[in-house]
Structure 1
Amino acid sequence: MTAALLPILDYMPGHVWGGPGWFVLIPFFWILLIGFFIFAGRRYRWRHSSTSAEGVLRERYARGEIDDTEYRQRLEVLRTKLK
């Protein structure tokens, strides 16, 4: 990526390897990095959320509140309603 940007930075006034050209790119790098972590965190939390209907059903099955046949029936109903 930086190799592709070097010709662009040559046209910026006062460009030296530590000059103002790199100063423009540093905020974009941090914005992208922070945005990636926010996106990944939300996606991870959404996938592993126990507040979803399937998550609640899974927890009830794990605690032994419902048996295997009831779990499968309810899971099938949830998945058909989501489609």
Structure 2
Amino acid sequence: MDVMGGMMLWMTIWGVVGLALLVGLGVVVVRAVRPGSRASQVPWADSPEEILRRRYAAGELDEDEYFRRSSGLRD
């Protein structure tokens, strides 16, 4: 195998590796932004009203506290 043949082999290998990395990156990005995916459902993406409702439903807040905080969010 001459020098040019060896260079072509390495260029082909690195080309395939680079293409695989780009495809993998594309798959990760698509899965992260697709609606309904686990990655797009981050806890801090919920609205303050939704967090307040969830805390009230879980019993962390009593009714008075819920309505006080709810009216504070509307202001």
| TM-score under structure 2 length normalisation | 0.48
| TM-score under structure 1 length normalisation | 0.44
Higher relative contact order at CA 8 Å, sep ≥6: structure 1 or structure 2? 2
